[in-house]
Each structure stands twice: as structure tokens, then as C-alpha cells.
Chains A and B, each alone.
Chain A
Amino acid sequence: IQLTQSPSSLSASVGDRVTITCRASQGIDNYLAWYQQEPGKAPKLLIYAASSLQSGVPSRFSGSGSGTDFTLTISSLQPEDFATYYCQHLNSYPFAFGPGTKVDIK
């Protein structure tokens, strides 16, 4: 199962609404997670099971989708959100990550 993400990068301003999409090459039900990675830091889990918010993650992050098409939305971008975002499927081995979406400051 392959994952694609779009866009590969985007420039946005604080307060903007940001949407990142992830598409799977075949249906994966809701076995999809989203992670945020800042430079020099370990990845951080944001969303699991496609739409469940990980404990401690701000509510401006949300996930949706099922099957092959998924979305991560940041409702109001904050300065600490400038990072790279990855989707990951956990439907069956081998698990895989998407290529990533880099969000930087406009």
C-alpha cells in the first residue's frame, strides 16, 4: 500500500486554515495516523484511527476520511505548527508513511 500526500509543501500565515490530504493506493478502512515532526525532534502523534485526537494535542488539529482519502486540518495555524506532517497507514505490514508535507511561514 502506497501513500501520497498533497501538497508536498505549503506556505501559510499564523491564523490560516490549513488542509493536507493523504491518499492510499488501496482501501485501508480507518487505519491511518498523522504525525508532526519538527527539525531535530522525534515525530509526535496527532491523530490516530483517521479522526481520533491524541491526548494532549490541541483541538485545532482534526482528521477525517476513510477508505482511501484522508485529510488533516489545522483550523488556525499557530507559530509552533510550522513543521513537517506525515500520514501513516497501519492496515497491514509493511506499514508505510506518506512522503510528508512541509508547512512553513509565508
Chain B
Amino acid sequence: EVQLVESGGGLVQPGRSLRLSCVASGFTFDNYAMYWVRLAPGKGLEWVSGINWNSGGIGYADSVKGRFTISRDNAKNSLYLQMNSLRVEDTALYYCAKDKAGAFDYWGQGTLVTVSS
């Protein structure tokens, strides 16, 4: 059974940093691209970042480019999102998701990030 478990969320002040993690199981992690998607309160889904299987292809939404860094450790079946210079508008539930070559077929339950003074 495929499982994706996010962690690392919490309450943080504007301008500070946070690192999210996603541990995967139930599939061959290093065969697949992985992604981060967020859902802000009262808003729709927003794609945040993606990374291919060997970290050779990485992309970011314009809203986080230069502040967030995605990475992965295939030996640990883990995906990460380093979030720096956090803003109030980064407050959201952050999901990790698995690639299906044309879609995101498995999602975690999310980790909540709240940016507030």
C-alpha cells in the first residue's frame, strides 16, 4: 500500500524558516518524480514545487521561487521542502504527492504551516 506521510509543519513567525518532510512507502521511491502542493484557507489548490527521480529536474511556482528549495533523499525514501523567508500568505496545508506520468496519483494527508506573528 502506497503511503505518504508529511511532517514538519507548525506555527512560525514571518521571515523565519521551516523544513517539511515526506516519507514514502509502498512503492519504489526513486522511480518517480515527487511534488509539493498546498491548500490555503478558503483558497484552491496551488502547485508549489516538483522534483524528478534523480533531482535533475526541479521546478517552482513563481510565488515561492527563490525562497523554497525542494530536495529528496532516495536512500531514505524522503522528500523535503525547505521554506525560507516565510510570509503570512504561505499559510496552508502542504501535501506531498507522487507522480503518475501525467498526474498525481497518491497524496499524503498534509502538514499544516501557519505563518503569523
Q: Which of B15-23, B80-88, B100-108 contacts A (4 or more CB under 8 A)?
A: B100-108
Binding site for B on A (CB under 8 A): 31, 33, 35, 37, 42-45, 48-49, 54, 84, 86, 88, 90, 93-100
Main secondary structure of the interface of B (DSSP, over half): strand
Q: Which residue of B lies closest to A101 (CB)?
A: B44
Binding site for A on B (CB under 8 A): 35, 37, 39, 44-47, 50, 57, 59-62, 95, 100, 102-105, 107-110
Chain A-chain B contacts (Cβ-Cβ < 8 Å), number: 64
User: How far, in angstroms, from A86 to B105 measured CA to CA in the complex?
Assistant: 14
Which of A31, A37, A86, A100 touches B102 (beta carbons < 8 Å)? A31
Q: Is the CB of A94 within 8 A of B104?
A: no
User: How far, in angstroms, from A57 to B107 measured CA to CA in the complex?
Assistant: 16
Which of B35, B60, B102 touches A49 (beta carbons < 8 Å)? B102
Which of B50, B61, B109 touches A42 (beta carbons < 8 Å)? B109
Which of A33, A35, A37, A95 touches B50 (beta carbons < 8 Å)? A95
